[in-house]
């Protein structure tokens, strides 16, 4: 019998040290919000409020019963590697060589290592804003130069400026390209033609590609994510970053899987990472998720489809001046308020007691937008939208 998950149920996260729900004092101290109280609805973090898959919870209980939680190595777990490879084969038609998998604590940690290892101070790194803000901050932190291949936008549809991209890739000072696929926060799932063209340009100009595919499992019913690694191009230098954090709502267990087929890239990355000891609970949770959570993910995606469609209907009927297009991937609504984004973020926080993310945090092209993460119960989403509608 297939288990039916209830995503309408509200699970309290109070008393669990949840960064999303219990960091009010810190957020105020950092100047990120002015209002955060028991009635606040935080929708600014890509962090689900849905219960984790039951097979993951069952596996964690069983692991705790083993009574010892010592140093662990992912390389010693054939079960873990088989589960990971099996998942990507089933879900994305991607055959992964287990020897190409390197486990680390997170994609941001991996980006740090990649930039330090494969680029030099002053090198240009191409990104496609409006995009995950940590891309730019990580680049500048290491003394590299942000090169913006800002996405074209028309009627809420984002596309790549390929003429500019080709010019930027041809510049020998630009040595690395950070691809976000599916793209966050605008929600594009790149087509085969778009991925092929980006890959061919980078291969021609010997630009290393880092493909951040952490949202790959979270796509709409009519969309199909294509792992860049499945495109055959022997000249392409590629590192793929994947993670269970977003897919299975286990971000607190800190796990990223970095897939590097080319040993001339894999070996330097592995050496720079050094010995990594993942939590034994992380290994257990990730293995169970990849082995037994296909049904859970299918139901999550169906529910997210409903949430994102609900927003479209609500805005059309009650806030028609707010621009929005259902994203092809991820679970963030990219809302165009057409106003100063810092001002509208503050207004929504103070007057509606809702926390959204200022779109300008995503760089060029983000001003005027708000990112709303909607992996929550429909009733909470409706309450948040109604509050915003009353003060806009």
CA distance 28 to 272: 36
Closest by alpha carbon to 206, among 166, 175, 241? 175
Q: How would DSSP label each residue in 277-324?
A: ---HHHHHHHHHHHHH-HHHHHHHHHHHHHHHHHHHHHHHHH-TTSB-
**Residue 370 — left, alpha, or beta (φ > 0 → left; ψ -120 to 50 → alpha)?**
beta
Q: How would you classify the pairing of strands 369-373 and 101-104?
A: unpaired
Locus of tokens 């090169």: 147
Q: Are 375 and 45 in contact (CB under 8 A)?
A: no
Q: Residue 293: what pLDDT?
A: 96
Q: Residue 74: what pLDDT?
A: 66
What b-and-e string marks burial along 363-376, b requiring 16 or more CB atoms within 10 Å of the CB?
A: bbbbbbbbbbbbbb
pLDDT digit string (tens) for the chain, length 392 residues? 678 999 999 999 988 888 899 888 898 999 889 999 999 999 999 999 999 999 999 999 999 999 999 988 766 678 999 999 999 999 999 999 999 999 998 999 999 999 999 999 999 999 999 999 999 999 999 999 999 999 999 999 999 999 999 999 999 999 999 999 999 999 999 999 999 999 999 999 999 999 999 999 999 999 999 999 999 778 899 999 999 999 999 999 989 999 999 999 999 999 999 987 889 999 999 999 999 999 999 999 999 999 999 999 999 999 999 999 999 999 999 999 988 878 999 999 999 999 999 999 999 999 999 999 999 999 999 999 999 999 98
Q: Residue 1: what pLDDT?
A: 64
CA distance 21 to 36: 9
The reported pTM is: 0.95
DSSP H helices, the chain, are 19-22, 24-29, 54-64, 78-92, 107-118, 134-141, 162-170, 192-204, 245-248, 263-273, 280-292, 294-318, 341-347, 378-391
Residues 6+ apart with CB under 8 A from 324: 156, 311, 312, 315, 333, 334, 335, 336
4-55 pLDDT, tens per residue? 999 999 999 988 888 899 888 898 999 889 999 999 999 999 999 999 999 9
CA distance 391 to 351: 7
All domains of the chain, ordered by start, with CATH?
A: 19-53+294-391 (3.90.1150.10), 68-292 (3.40.640.10)
DSSP conformational letter for 329? B
Closest by alpha carbon to 373, among 17, 47, 129? 47
Q: Are 373 and 43 in contact (CB under 8 A)?
A: yes
Going 162 to 167 to 173 to 175, the CA torsion angle's sign is positive
CA distance 310 to 288: 32
Closest by alpha carbon to 212, among 172, 176, 248? 176
Q: Residue 66: what pLDDT?
A: 93
Q: How many other CB atoms are there within 10 angstroms of residue 315's CB atom?
A: 19
């Amino acid at each position: 019998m297939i288990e039916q998950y209830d995503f309408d149920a509200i699970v309290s996260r109070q008393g669990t040290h949840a960064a999303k729900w219990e960091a009010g004092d810190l957020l105020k101290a950092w100047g990120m919000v002015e209002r955060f109280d028991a009635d606040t609805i935080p929708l600014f973090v890509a962090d689900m409020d849905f219960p984790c898959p039951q097979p993951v919870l069952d596996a964690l209980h069983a692991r705790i019963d083993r009574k010892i939680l010592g140093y662990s190595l992912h390389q010693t777990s054939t079960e873990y590697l088989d589960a990971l490879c099996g998942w990507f084969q089933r879900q994305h038609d991607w055959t992964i060589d287990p020897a190409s998998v390197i486990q680390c604590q997170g994609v941001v940690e991996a980006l740090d290592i990649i930039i330090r290892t494969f680029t030099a101070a002053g090198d240009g790194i191409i990104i496609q804003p409006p995009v995950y803000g940590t891309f730019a901050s990580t680049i500048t932190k290491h003394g590299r130069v942000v090169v913006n291949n800002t996405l074209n936008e028309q009627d809420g549809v984002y596309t790549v400026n390929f003429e500019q991209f080709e010019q930027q890739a041809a510049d020998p000072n630009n040595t690395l390209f950070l691809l976000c696929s599916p793209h966050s926060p605008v929600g594009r799932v790149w087509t085969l033609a778009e991925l092929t063209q980006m890959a061919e340009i980078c291969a021609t100009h010997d630009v290393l590609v880092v493909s951040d595919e952490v949202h790959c499992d979270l796509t709409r019913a009519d969309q199909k994510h294509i792992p860049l690694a499945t495109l055959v191009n022997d000249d392409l230098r590629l590192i793929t970053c994947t993670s269970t954090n977003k897919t299975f709502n286990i971000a607190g267990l800190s796990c990223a899987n970095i897939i590097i087929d080319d040993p001339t890239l894999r070996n330097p990355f592995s050496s720079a990472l050094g010995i990594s000891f993942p939590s034994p609970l992380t290994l257990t949770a990730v293995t169970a998720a990849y082995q037994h959570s296909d049904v859970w993910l299918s139901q999550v995606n169906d529910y997210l489809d409903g949430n994102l469609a609900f927003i479209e209907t609500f805005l059309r009927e009650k806030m028609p001046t707010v621009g929005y297009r259902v994203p092809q991937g991820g679970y963030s609504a990219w809302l165009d308020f057409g106003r100063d984004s810092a001002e509208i973020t503050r207004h929504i926080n103070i007057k509606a007691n809702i926390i959204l993310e200022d779109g300008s945090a995503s760089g060029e092209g983000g001003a005027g937008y708000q990112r709303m993460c909607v992996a929550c119960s429909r009733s909470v989403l409706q309450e948040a939208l109604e509050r915003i509608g009353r003060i806009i």
